[in-house]
Amino acid sequence: MPRETCVVKMAEIMNKYTGADPERIKLFCLGFWTGACEKVRKNPPAAMFRPSLKQHPWALEGIRDVAQAFGLVTILVSYREESLFPCFTLVLNDSVVAKRSIQEFINENGRHQELWVSRPGNVARIEALKSLPVNSPEWHRERGLLCGIPEDEIDPEFHLREGYGKFAHNYYPEEKQV
């Protein structure tokens, strides 16, 4: 089993094809999100994306738009660094009009944000992550199952892998740090 997260591979591919150009990164991400949403529409319960705060203004809108095109919903899950549990979840849909106020709330109250896409029937499972301690074996298990990972391949110590907690758009392995 690899001892790295998907961020490591995503960063490698993204850096190769975007040259770290912000506009090319946006296009790359839109293509990636589209492929993931197509996959979720057909099989796994959900997919999770973790854009950096720098990416949030356009990622919130982009992920939600792509998800809606595939009949999926987008759920924002936010974590406070000092908390063992997610601090809130918010289903993003057409009734959420004030994107700016959402962004301000995130910047003030959360540090680590995830955007999940799922079929409507799986929203409760994502919201239930609030009841599980972050980085516990149960938390990793449920997140893995939501992402369609076979149970026998879920790593209960996923948080110890290379790339955990990093963002693909600015991740470089230790030997390539600039």
Yes or no: say if 81 and 71 are a contact pair by the CB < 8 Å rule. no
What is d(CA 47, CA 93) in angstroms, rounded to the nearest whole number?
17
Q: Of 87-96, 115-124, 125-134, which one has max mean pLDDT? A: 115-124
Query: Model's pTM, two decimal places?
Result: 0.76
Alpha helices, H only, 19-110: 22-42, 56-69, 99-109
H-helix or E-strand spanning residue 137: helix 137-146
Note the maximum CA span of the chain.
46
At residue 94, the pLDDT reads 53
| Between residues 2 and 141, the one the model is more confident about | 141
**Eight-class DSSP state of 132:** S
At residue 96, the pLDDT reads 45
SS3 state at 109 = helix
At residue 11, the pLDDT reads 79
Averaged over 65-69, what is the pLDDT?
Answer: 93
Yes or no: say if 73 and 126 are a contact pair by the CB < 8 Å rule. no
Ranking 12-16, 102-106, 166-170 by mean pLDDT, the lowest is 102-106
